[in-house]
Amino acid sequence: MWIFQAGAQTGNFLTPGTTDYDILMDIHRFRFSEMQQKIEKYNAKNSPVYPFLKVNYYWWMMVTSPDEKSYADSLENALNQTDKRIKEYPEDTYRLILMLNQGYRFRWAFKKADYLDALIHAKRIFSPIKYALDHAHLSPYYKLTSAIYLFSVGYGKNEYWYLYPYFLLIPPGDEQKGLQWLKELASHPYELISDEARYTLLRIYKDIYKEYDIAYRYAYKLTARQPANLFYLALYLQLAEKTGKLTAEEEKKYFETLHHTRFVSPAQQKFFSHWRNIQ
């Protein structure tokens, strides 16, 4: 049912079997070289999708790099280029891209602990966020974005009380509703959706709630599906160690995967050689 509804609301964009969907799945499977080659084909066709795909690429390069600042300018440029070409999309896809692009700005601000900047970006996408919240039942992408938004704003309103006036300018959050929607999406048939939901839940239970046994279960599901993703594997090993479940065999498999991975740079390879340091 999700497949037909998603297609109806966002065209063919980011549906399984399309090139743009496969490119984003290449990231989850740690196929960075393959992803780069596919993205450049969009560039050759001067497609408006190109800068948005670069946003995804640079985001993942940033979080899998020992020096995330080295990709920050490239990410910012790709975000700006996506905004400039946003109106070249059909209306429904336009809403989705606008929301996802600003969503990356929102996530980046939270990653940098710049909560005021995050709220400013949330205010800028008031209309598409409101649309996503009202139509979450029609598309898994709307529901996923809504779930992350509901949780982040619901949790943030209580945690960062000194920013309360800014919370009044954006759609209200709901920590528990956001959490429930993420749990529902963790079983979604789109790998891209369920991976993102599981990863978000992993971070929530690991970093916010400190409930490591629950976080471990989501890490296990992620690595069972994406065994080549060293980022997921590193978090899994950390949680396995934290909960007393780590085995020498699992750590050995990690380094075997590391050995067979085609990295973008020696720095990226070095980054993953120390799994305990990966955040």
Sheet strands (E) in 174-273? none
Judge contact between 122 and 157, C-beta under 8 A. Answer: no
pLDDT of residue 65: 82
CA 64 – CA 279 distance, rounded (Å): 9
In the structure, what pLDDT confidence band is assigned to residue 90 with cuts at 50, 70 and 90? confident
Short-list 165, 56, 55, 77, CA closest to 119: 165
Q: What is the dihedral of CA 79, 19, 15, 76, to 10 degrees?
A: -10
Going from the C-alpha of 253 to that of each of 128, 227, 246, 259, 260, the distances in angstroms are: 43, 10, 12, 10, 11
Query: Which of 131, 83, 135 is CA-nearest to residue 104?
Result: 83
Please state the rounded mean pLDDT for residues 125-138: 86
Joined tokens for residue 155 = 């949790």
- pLDDT of res. 111: 66
Question: What is the distance of C-alpha 135 from the center of its chain?
Answer: 20
- Cβ burial, residue 185 (10 Å; 0-12/13-18/19+): buried
**Mean pLDDT estimate for the chain:** 87
User: Which residue, among 123, 118, 94, has the nearest Cα to 107 in the 3D structure?
Assistant: 118
- The half-sphere exposure of 101 on its side-chain side, counting CA atoms within 13 A, is 28
pLDDT by residue (tens digit) across 1-28?
222 233 334 457 889 999 999 999 999 9
Domain residue spans of the chain: 2-225
φ, ψ at 134 (rounded to 5°):
-75, -20
Q: Confidence class of residue 156 from pLDDT cuts 50, 70 and 90?
A: confident
Residue type for position 170: I
Residue 40: other Cβ atoms inside 10 A: 13
- Summarize pLDDT for 158-215 with one digit per residue, the tens: 887 777 777 777 889 999 999 999 999 999 999 999 999 999 999 999 999 999 999 9
Inter-CA distances, 135 with 90, 96, 126, 128, 141, Å: 18, 12, 14, 10, 10
